[in-house]
Amino acid sequence: MLFNSIEFAIFLPIVFMLYWFGTNKNLKLQNALLLFSSYYFYACWDWRFMFLLMFSTLLDYYTGLKMQDAINHQGKRFWFWLSVIVNLGFLAVFKYYNFFAGSFAEMVAQFGWEVSPLMIHVILPVGISFYTFHGLSYVIDIYNDKIKAERNFVDYAVFVSFFPLLVAGPIERATHLLPQIKRARTFDYKKAVDGMRQILWGLFKKIVIADNCAEFANQIFNNSADLNGATLVLGALFFTFQIYGDFSGYSDIALGTARLFGIDLLRNFAFPYFSRDIAEFWRRWHISLSSWFKDYLYIPLGGSKGGNWMRIRNTFIIFIVSGFWHGANWTFIAWGFLNALFIMPSIIMKTNRNNLEIVAQGRLLPSLTEFLQITVTFSLAVFAWIFFRAESMSHALQFIQDMFAGLFSKAGYIEAFNFMYWKVGAYLPLLLLAFLIIEWLGREEQFALAKIGLNWKRPLRFALYYSIIIAIFWFAGKEQQFIYFQF
């Protein structure tokens, strides 16, 4: 069930009405309804993987209680490692087994040995990386005495499987979400309206921006060998906007939907393409994952306390692991490694905390220096996304080689112009321009549409909202699955 589907448009109002008007504001009934709705939402993808989700939930719930009740540290450590090993074991089997087996066969083939490893043919369970990380953060926090184990199974299960975040995040923490689940909730009209605005903007990003960019990004990447440098640059740019509109659009819909139920989820995006350096970019892109790796990997490895060598080593580790988290392909590892290289100058020079506030705060336009910094950072992100989108390392490297080889070719610019004129047309550049203007004007808020138009007269404000709704229906193309569902 996609957020941008008719099924979800029917599902959400039904759950909303039952939640606020069918439970008599009884917290236990509300949470039971959320759990049932979340399991139904997940089962719509593939009911067979419900058992994996439920087993993972039961495992972490039970091991959490056993850690809490352990009479000594040895017993606590046993239950902790049982949970970690089983959770990561499932992730390894479903997501990484074929990758490791195939890579091993390729490696030994270099020495003249032929190996035919057993490959497993199974669909990757949607959202497995996200709900696994929910559970891991929970058991790690119990092990480190940061939280107490949750004894109400329904409350804990809602924390793991709350349907807005279940399949693509944000990656929540028990310290943030569980107290909200256990606290009585009353309907807040302002919060609900704010949630609807965020859902509307998320749908615009996904359907109008991401899905339309995807059509042309796919055409270029799938036929890159036949295209010239300037056209390949267009492909990289289209994918850059596609992945941002796709993933941040999902996050906006998830956060807005949660607000309808009186719950605030962790913010996942903060206008990353307006960043002035790569360190700032990674504070603003997929925030819940970046902070997860910082708290549960970077800091336990020693963080930045051991001098430059430790900071460099730990930074490369978290970026490479982050790339590998995204998928079982060398392209993702290369993408992570490349971002680690990009961030190195600021790590070594200790300038990675320089740009903590949003750019041009309180001003309409950035300074020339800020504009140049944004342009350079954006260009580095575009380059790195080539590896993320490419089918293989050879595809990525050939794409980059062809891109630079034909970048200054007159024929290449003519080809790119013809592609834009005959295939893309004027509508998509104009939509992207309008999108960037709204994002820029709303960059100081939690999401772009949070405050824009609130002080306008009612007819103008609703004209803006209806224009966005019309654009969603008018420019809706082929329904595209969210990119991060594969992770």
Interatomic CA distance for residues 213 and 238, integer angstroms = 5
Same domain, 68 and 208: no
Preceding omega of 170 cis (within 30 degrees of 0): yes
Contacts of 301 (CB under 8 A, 6+ apart): 310, 313, 314, 317
Is-contact 343 354, C-beta < 8 A? no
The last residue of one of the domains, among 131, 152, 186, is 186
Kindly report the backbone phi and psi dihedral angles of residue 402, in degrees, each rounded to the nearest multiple of 5, phi listed first: -65, -35
Residue 152 lies in a domain: yes
Same domain, 362 and 476: yes
Residue 344 lies in a domain: no
Same domain, 58 and 157: yes
Is-contact 93 120, C-beta < 8 A? yes
Same domain, 361 and 266: yes
Residue 82 lies in a domain: yes
Per-residue pLDDT, 150:
95
The last residue of one of the domains, among 186, 208, 228, is 186
Same domain, 195 and 169: no
| pTM check: above 0.85 | yes
Contacts of 93 (CB under 8 A, 6+ apart): 120
Same domain, 397 and 428: yes
Per-residue pLDDT, 486:
66
Per-residue pLDDT, 92:
84
The last residue of one of the domains, among 156, 186, 216, is 186
Same domain, 366 and 469: yes
Residue 1 lies in a domain: no
Interatomic CA distance for residues 470 and 376, integer angstroms = 35
Sequential DSSP letters for 121-183: --PPPTTHHHHHHHHHHHHHHHHTTSSPPP--HHHHHHHHH-TTTTTT-----HHHHHHHHHS
Same domain, 209 and 272: yes
Residue 325 lies in a domain: no
Please name the residue that has the structure tokens 């009911």.
47
Same domain, 30 and 159: yes
Same domain, 137 and 24: yes
Select from 260, 252, 286, 214 the least CA-distant residue to 439.
Answer: 252
**Which domain, by its residues, includes 55?**
6-186
Give me the catalytic one of 134, 286, 326, 395: 326
Tokens of residue 312, six digits:
């460099």
Residuewise pLDDT in 10s, the chain (487 residues): 788 888 999 999 999 999 999 988 899 999 999 999 999 999 988 888 899 999 999 999 999 999 999 888 899 999 999 999 999 998 888 887 777 666 666 666 666 676 666 666 677 788 888 999 999 999 999 999 999 999 999 999 999 999 999 888 799 999 999 999 999 999 999 999 999 999 999 999 999 999 999 999 999 999 999 888 899 999 999 999 999 999 999 999 999 999 999 999 999 999 999 999 999 999 999 999 999 999 999 989 887 777 788 889 999 999 999 998 888 889 999 999 999 999 999 998 889 889 989 999 999 999 999 999 999 999 999 999 999 999 999 999 999 999 998 777 777 788 888 888 778 888 899 999 999 999 999 999 999 999 888 888 889 999 999 999 999 999 886 666 777 766 6
Q: Is 326 a catalytic residue?
A: yes
Tokens of residue 226, six digits:
């036949």
Same domain, 101 and 141: yes
Check the CA dihedral 200-244-267-150 and report its sign: positive
Domain count, the chain: 2
Same domain, 235 and 180: no
Interatomic CA distance for residues 126 and 486, integer angstroms = 7
Is-contact 418 230, C-beta < 8 A? no
